Amino acid sequence: MNDVTQILHAIHRGDRHAAGELLPLIYDELRKLAARKLASESPRQTLQATALVHEAYVRLVSGSEPQDWDGRGHFFAAAAEAMRRILIESARRKLRLKHGGEFDRIELTSNIVDATDDPERLLELDTALTKLAAEDATAAEVVKLHFFTGMSLDEVGAVLGMSRATAYRQWSYARSWLKCEIEGNS
């Protein structure tokens, strides 16, 4: 049994520490996948977050899935968290460059198409999301999956075991909540 499958089993069996072990594995797999794509194809290409996460899933789990447990939800939740961290880290790095905080000025082109051209706003959003998670974990989970991995709300619903309508309602609420939080602070 590979590591990830084993951890998914352990989570399923109520092991509280297991979830923490899942995240780094998926995180590193996502990085590796990106590196491989970079090596085999043209440089500076853009990647679809959703496709990447699904590919990681196929590579790490699917050979031995699905079986007697509901591993998909845990996997995608961890993948969303991993994507969030990668994006936030990238936004931080960008911000540091902007403020001249690093000695070696690395030439960075637009790393993340569109949204993270405004890294400050993304970091604010992330701070707000952390607060939301403390108040309403389900809504925050929907945001992570939808926003950071680009999954459709249908897919988010399937992963979290809720109907599309419910996923949509959770998203609407979370979206308003986050927007209020960010705008209330600025």
Instruction: Quote the least distance from Cβ 104 to other proteins, whole Å.
Output: 11
Instruction: Quote the least distance from Cβ 38 to other proteins, whole Å.
Output: 5
In the window 84-123, what residues touch other proteins (CB under 8 A)? 85-87, 89-90, 96, 99-102, 108-116, 118, 121-122
Judged by CB under 8 A, the residue of 55, 64, 127, 164 near other proteins is: 64
Q: List Cβ neighbours of 87 (8 Å cut-off, separation of 6 or more).
A: 112, 116, 122, 148
What SS3 state is found at 29?
helix
Instruction: Quote the least distance from Cβ 151 to other proteins, whole Å.
Output: 8
CB nearer to other proteins: pick between 45 and 141: 45
Cα dihedral: 51, 53, 119, 152 (round 10): 70
Position 20 contacts other proteins (CB under 8 A): yes
